Every structure is written in structure tokens, then in C-alpha cells.
Structure 1
């Protein structure tokens, strides 16, 4: 949908649109019968576009109040009541909370007092069945941009223009709009004369603020001059030839518009302040300011229709994707169907072969087998658990090294390879430990005794120190004087028997 900005000024209405090169003018309409007729024809030709009305009128009032901090619903009711009290009978009015300070909110109220040109413009658009996105003000839009820039300036005067014969002066305190007025600027071919007039207007604004005691007499007022490149050069020339600022003003004669576009994340393009304003209006989704709800009804209905169409398209696309997946899955199952049929036939044959066997199974034997599994096999001792448990006990004894680990469990003589005297499910662990070469014999025996004491604490444990191969070699060479010293390495054989706990303990 094409988006068109209608710039409403005291003398005419300009139809504009944004492009990569900045603002592009579409048409120009005067405030007379011929202009209104041309605007009606233009609206009919652009009936499917979305219109933004941007006003740059002089009769715009601004007020600030402080209200108690309330919930959102109560706050909106209070704002509506404040607007009705201050601007009774005015159609185009706007109120919003600027900031919260503790238990109080700073409220800004504003209204367009000259309704005649705006009424005629909106009536023409609605007659042509055009969608209006909102009615905006140059002064309030400038305030929105300053809020987004987050400037640290207690005072700021911005001077700009949207038409050659007008000059807008907007005064801000902490980026909050205090007043904005539209003055007249003499249109002469001499740009230096126009620049001199702009600087004189800045001095008058400074004197007005001092007279109203908004600024102290020794306080400096920063001024931003937002114009095109040609006016910027004329302002610099005037500033170079005379002391235009003095001690009262700080003149920034041409703010870097490219920097503003980058800071506000706007498309780069255009060399005037109007380019920045229009790009911000269309790109930053500024909420409606002055348009009543009835004016926005058509735009909202079209927006709802577009969302419904988008949802319908998304549903159709999703259905198409799901249908494609279903077809692909069906083709895959169809391709696998022969192998699935063979598998079913094979399992059917196996089931038929097992049916005679199931008829010969004795339920009593089956129950006995289940009881045997639950009583013995399900809780059968594990060599892995026993090894891990013994390793945890052995870890603190750094002078002993594990050489051999043997584990067996009692099977009550069922297996020939096990000890027939070992009770059923009892565990027997036989380990060979070697003393470190760096340890003395006394240290080795102390560690063995401590390890035996640790193992004795296990439930149902019985620990025995068995003869080791080292001791056998020592006894065989007792008469040999060359081998009278303690042999190395020293090995110790421990046998740990863990009796099976009774069924009640399990």
C-alpha cells in the first residue's frame, strides 16, 4: 500500500512521499476552490493509498500539568477529562503522559485551534473513501525525535521551516516541548537577508524567554538551525561577518542531518529537515496524535482486512505444506508396504509355531520360575558394584597398589567352578595388594591394618589376611644370610567374605 504524507500549511497542502533520495513531491493544492477540487481528484486517484496528515499550523496550543500517578484506565479517563475542560468543543486535541516522577505524572496537553483547513482536508479524504493513518504535528513529531535522541540539554531552541515563507521556533526543556510558534519569514532572492532574519528571530525568542523568566539573563540558549544546504551556507557567512551569538546564544547553524538519520536508524537520503521528519513519521511508527477515532475507522478496517488475508494465506500455505507431508508419508508407507507385509507374515508364522508350545507349558512351573527370578536372580550380587565399593575404600591408602582382584558368589554347589562351601548369593572378594617401594615395612603393615579395620565395618563382612607369595619365598630362604632382609616387593592377600543378608533385611 502506497503511503502518502499531506503536509498542511497556512497557505497550501503538499502531497509528498518518501524515496531513497528524500522527499518526493506529488502535488500542490492551494486553500481555494480550485485547490480543493484538485485535491478531491487526487484523492480519488490515490484511493487505495494510506494517508498521513502532517500539520504545520500556527494555531497550536501546548500545556503541561502534573497529575497523580494512576492505573492506565483511570489515567486515560483523567486525560480525557482534562482535555474536555481545557479544549471544550475542539475536535483535534491530544494528551499523553511524558514521564513519571514518584507518585506524580507529567502530563502534556495540546490542541489544533484552527480547525477549518484541517476539517476541509479530512472531509475531502473521507468523501473519496481514503484511509487516514493519523493526524500529526510538526512540533510534536520533533519532540518525539528528541526523546529518541536522548539529548542531555536542559534548554534547546529549534528553528526550522517546511515552506519558504514560514519559520517555526520550538523551545524544549529536557527534550520536552514547552511552546512552538510559527512566524513569517520574508521571502527575498537574497539568502543572506533571509539568514539575517532567522538570526534576528533567534534573538527575539531569547529575549521572550528572559522576559517570561524561563531563562536567566546570564544563561546561554543553544539554538539548532535546521534548513537546507543553501540556507546553511548563508547562515555561516552571516555568522562569520558579525558576532551574531554573543554571550546569549550558542548557534549550531547546521545540525548534521546524516548523523541524526544514523542515530534514529532512518534511511540515509535527503538533505533537509523535512526529509528527516517524513522518514521518521513513516519508519518509526509514531502513534496518532490528533485524529479522532471516527477518522481512523477506515484505515483500521483495511488493516484488519489485510491481517485476515495474511492469516488466510498463512493457513492455506500451512495446509498445503501439511498435505505435501501427508502425500510424502503415504508414498513412503506405500513403498515400505511389501516389506511390512513380509514381516507380518513372518511374525504370524512364529506365533503359530509357539502356540503348541504354550499349550504344553505348566502354569505351576511358570509361577515357580517367576518366583525364582524375583527371589534370587533379580537381586543377584554384582561384581561391578563390589569392585567399585572396594575401590572407594582403597583410594585413601596411597602406599598400597591393587595387583589382583577376584570375585565370586555362592551358588550352593550348582556350578563346579565355584566354592561349594560358599552360601547362596554370598560374595567372596580376594585381592592382592603390593606395598609401594618407597614405603617401609612398618608403614606397609600400618596401612594394611587400617584397611582391615575399614573393611570390618561393612555389614556381614568377614576379613582374613591370607599367606602371600612373598611370605612363602621368605620362609624358603630363611637360612640364606644374603636374603635375611625383608624381600621386595611386599604383597598382601586379603579375603573378604560378605554374607547374604536375610530376606527380612532386603
Structure 2
């Protein structure tokens, strides 16, 4: 990870700090004159290409609220640049801080335009950074970092004042809903601790009165919370001098405690609250800053290189992970192959041991296999009465009045000769006879639930039963013998039905099914 160097720029001097993880160490100090600029150039020559953050703590700051139409992208940047050019002559160090959207009939965005009244004092220092090819992350001011400090000292507040004693003087920043609204810097001129505490009290009251005249503070009487960062060992004096009243509520935090809250573990002993802002600039830099995109080109290219390198490392890690998964799968497949090969060898050994116990035959194993296959085919083509009986059973479910006496199943041909008497008693049915073997099922039974003398009803029932048996395309009715002799060769006398025995009328049906 690149070492970050933080530049603290004040009216009197320029200090360079080196940040390593969560510690700040003083590295160099340069006076604000030509000699200091030359010395600074020599310092940059020894650290060419380094990463720098600039934090300015100057009294000559200008803040102006403005509104622009709610825009996005390039149009918004164009409008902001136009407003900055209208407000300031030198826009090299000018920024616009968004204060949110105004919810009225016309949706506008509120902006806080910020710059320095004397931006020329930065020019030689920024030129030296550009000539040395450094990576400039940004140019920030202490007020820009005040909202982040307020959030770590007291959480998110609706309105508060952040007051800190810096090396440049007494810094006061007014925060409204987490956004900077106003800031000022007053020199302390080496005041004694007691005088410094009283000075903080008087200047805070003056600033609150000024904000009230601007109608920035509400008039509901709610006291304004003042977050004060006292120097080392001065908390007791500050708390004694800074007594809360109906307008101001003071919350005093000593510098070491404040450093712990922002995550700064180590800082120079002779430093003041500026170390808090420097640490926040390197850790969580705000989105808005003063440097233009052209001045930050080296930093942006460095970020792009890091992103590409990170993407490459991530891709390499993903490829390595995928290769590891594939390698594990290969090892698993190899293990399965070994297991299958062992099982195959064991099966072959068992088969060989079993075949050795077979009796010696006069033919080969292949001939035996062919014989078994042919036997299975013959068995599959062998006739069985099971299917025909199942068909008969299904039809009998529809005719409960029929009772079977006996069934005769055989393999035969449908063109077998019949006696003349049988031919005369058989009701002719259209059925093609083929000279081939078929399954023949002779069904002998009787018809119950009908009067013996009702010839027509009995005949119709037997015929319907025969039609039901022949409704399946696999079967056909070869012969049907009705209970009565209705052939034209018979003699019909007047005493038909006189000799009734009381038995149910009997019938005979021969059903044929083609062999498979």
C-alpha cells in the first residue's frame, strides 16, 4: 500500500506528515517564502511520484449560498463551473458543496460555493507538486472535513458548531444536517490557557449571534450544541470557562480523546487539532475538494492502475480457485476409475471361478448363449390362456346374469369340420376363416334371471354377450350355439316349451385369438 503524505498548509508555514496505517509522523517543515518553496521542491525531488493530500487552514475563505436547477452529469458540472466563474476571478481553487434539494414548486439544488480570497498563495506549491509528478489526491480545507469530525465526536446532529484549536488559530465551523454552512478562523496569538478558554467562549457567542442575524439558526429557543476540542491537559480549564446557557450547549473533548474517536492512534506531541483533520482527509476524504481534474490526473491514473491490478488479482484468484476445483474433481474421478477397475477385475475373477465349476460341454459358451436366447423367444411366443381368461372375466363383469359351467381352452384351427346338426343349430356370424393355428376358448354356460319361455330375450342376451367378447380386435367369435334350435331345417310344433325342466337355458360360444 502506498505511503500517504499529508500537507498542512497555513499562512505561516507548510508542514508535511507521513501517515502509516493509523499513525501520523512529522516529516518536514517549510516556511511560506521563496526559500521554503525551493526547499519544498528539493523534498519532492526525493519523493517523486508520491501520494499527497493537501489540507488548507487559512483565514481568507469565502462561502456563498446559491441555487441551480436540479441537473445531473455534464450539464450540472457546466452550470456549476459557470456559477463559480461568476463568483470568483480565479477558479483554480474553487468548489461547490451540495446542500440538498429545495422542495418547492421548482425543484432546485442548493449549493455552497467556497474558495479562498487569495488563491495565488497556493500557486507555487501546487506547481511544485505538478512538476515533481506527484499523485495529488485532492486539496481540502479544514471546514470541508468538519462534518466528518462532528459525526465522530457527537454523532449526527441537526445543527452544531465544531470549535477546535489548530496550529493556525481558532477554527469554527457551523454544520447543518451534516453539511457545512459557514466557517471562520481567528488567530490566537499564543494566548495563555485561561485566556484561550475565554476567547473560545466570546468568539463562539459572536458567531452564534452572527448566524442568528442571517436567520440560519431557528428561533424556537433550542440551544445550539458546540463541540469543542481542547488542547492536551486543558479540558478542566475549558469546562470551567465554557458554561452552557439557554443559547449554547458546550461539549468539551480533549485532543487525545478526540484522536481516539477518529481512529488516530499516534500523532506528534506538539501537534494540535489539525491532526484530526489530516487523518480524516486521508481516511475518508470528502467528495468535494478544490483541485481540478487536470491537477489530479496522476492520482486518477494511479487509481485506475490499482483497479486494473485488483481486477487482475481477483481474476487470477478466481482462475486458481476454479483450477483447484477442477483438480479436486480430477482426483475424485481418478479415484472412481480405480474403484471401477478393481470391481471389474474382481467381477472377472468371480466369473472365471464360476465358469470353471461348469460341467464340460461339447459346445462353446457362445452356442449356449444363442440356445438360451432362442429358448426365451420360444417361451415368449408360447400361447397361454391367461390373457383370454382376463378378457372373458372383464366381459362377465358386464353380464352378471350369465353363469359359466365349463371352459375348454386349446390350440387349433378355425376351419375344423362340423357335423350337419351342429351347423344347422349354429347362428351364422360373418367371420373370415384362415387356415392357421389360433387359441380357441369354448365357453359353456347358462342364462339366469330370464324366463325359459322368453326365447327372444334369451337370444338377445346371448348375442350381446358374444358381441362384447368380439369387441376387442384381438379376439373374434368363431361359433355361437343358442339355447334353442332356430334353424330353418327344424320343425316348429305347437307344444314348444311344454316340456320345461326348470333349468336355465344353456349356450355355447367359441372365441378365437391369433397366436403371437
The SS at the match of 2:144 is helix
Q: Rate the CA distance shift 1:171–1:329 in 2: closer, same or farther, 3 A.
A: closer
The SS at the match of 1:70 is coil
More relative contact order, 1 or 2 (CA 8 Å, 6+ apart): 2
1:423 aligns with 2:394: yes
1:386-397 counterparts in 2 under 5 A?
A: none
Q: Please, which moves more after superposition, 8-17 or 252-261?
A: 252-261
The total of aligned residue pairs comes to 371
Deviation at 1:211, TM superposition (A): 5.2
1:393-404 counterparts in 2 under 5 A?
A: none
The SS at the match of 1:230 is coil
Structure 2 counterpart of 1:227, from 202, 227, 230: 230
8 A contact 1:411–1:423 mirrored in 2: no
Deviation at 1:229, TM superposition (A): 2.6
Deviation at 1:249, TM superposition (A): 3.5
Deviation at 1:90, TM superposition (A): 1.9
Matches of 1:45 and 1:21 in 2, distance apart?
A: 24
**Partner residue in 2 for 1:383:** none
- Partner deviation per Cα, 1:265-323 (whole Å, 9 max, x = no partner): x4566696434323322222432511101111111112222233333344445555555
Deviation at 1:139, TM superposition (A): 0.4
The SS at the match of 1:254 is strand
Deviation at 1:247, TM superposition (A): 5.0
Q: Rate the CA distance shift 1:30–1:333 in 2: closer, same or farther, 3 A.
A: same
1:312 aligns with 2:304: no
8 A contact 2:68–2:108 mirrored in 1: yes
Between Structure 1 and Structure 2, the one with more helix by share is 1
Matches of 1:45 and 1:17 in 2, distance apart?
A: 14
1:66-465 counterparts in 2 under 5 A?
A: 66-102=67-103, 103-146=107-150, 151-154=156-159, 156-163=160-167, 166-188=169-191, 190-210=192-212, 212=214, 220-239=223-242, 248-254=247-253, 258=257, 262=261, 266=263, 273-320=273-320, 412-413=388-389, 421-423=392-394
Matches of 2:366 and 2:285 in 1, distance apart?
A: 76
**Partner residue in 2 for 1:17:** 18
Matches of 1:98 and 1:69 in 2, distance apart?
A: 12
| Root-mean-square deviation over aligned CA pairs | 4.5
Matches of 1:301 and 1:187 in 2, distance apart?
A: 43
8 A contact 1:22–1:275 mirrored in 2: no
**Partner residue in 2 for 1:32:** 33
Matches of 1:426 and 1:110 in 2, distance apart?
A: 102
Using the size of structure 2 for normalisation, the TM-score is 0.59
8 A contact 2:231–2:273 mirrored in 1: yes
8 A contact 1:261–1:276 mirrored in 2: no
1:35-54 counterparts in 2 under 5 A?
A: 35-54=36-55
- Partner deviation per Cα, 1:316-371 (whole Å, 9 max, x = no partner): 45555555666666676677767878999999xxxx979x97xx99xxx9xx9xxx
Matches of 1:318 and 1:245 in 2, distance apart?
A: 59
Structure 2 gaps, min length 5: 349-364, 399-467, 473-516
Deviation at 1:136, TM superposition (A): 0.8
The SS at the match of 2:145 is helix
The SS at the match of 1:42 is helix
- Partner deviation per Cα, 1:429-486 (whole Å, 9 max, x = no partner): xxxxxxxxxxxxxxxxxxxxxxxxxxxxxxxxxxxxxxxxxxxxxxxxxxxxxxxxxx
Deviation at 1:77, TM superposition (A): 2.9
The SS at the match of 2:90 is coil
- Partner deviation per Cα, 1:184-223 (whole Å, 9 max, x = no partner): 11214x3222223332322332443455565589955443
Q: Please, which moves more after superposition, 58-67 or 322-331?
A: 322-331
Structure 1 gaps, min length 5: 369-409, 415-419, 428-498
The SS at the match of 1:295 is coil
Q: Rate the CA distance shift 1:178–1:324 in 2: closer, same or farther, 3 A.
A: closer
* Structure label with greater radius of gyration: 2
Deviation at 1:81, TM superposition (A): 2.2
Q: Rate the CA distance shift 1:288–1:48 in 2: closer, same or farther, 3 A.
A: farther
Matches of 2:85 and 2:342 in 1, distance apart?
A: 84
Using the size of structure 1 for normalisation, the TM-score is 0.60
Matches of 2:110 and 2:28 in 1, distance apart?
A: 40
Q: Rate the CA distance shift 1:338–1:69 in 2: closer, same or farther, 3 A.
A: closer
8 A contact 2:52–2:135 mirrored in 1: yes
Deviation at 1:10, TM superposition (A): 0.8
Matches of 1:179 and 1:56 in 2, distance apart?
A: 14
The SS at the match of 1:44 is helix
Deviation at 1:75, TM superposition (A): 2.9
Matches of 1:254 and 1:126 in 2, distance apart?
A: 39
Matches of 2:14 and 2:170 in 1, distance apart?
A: 17
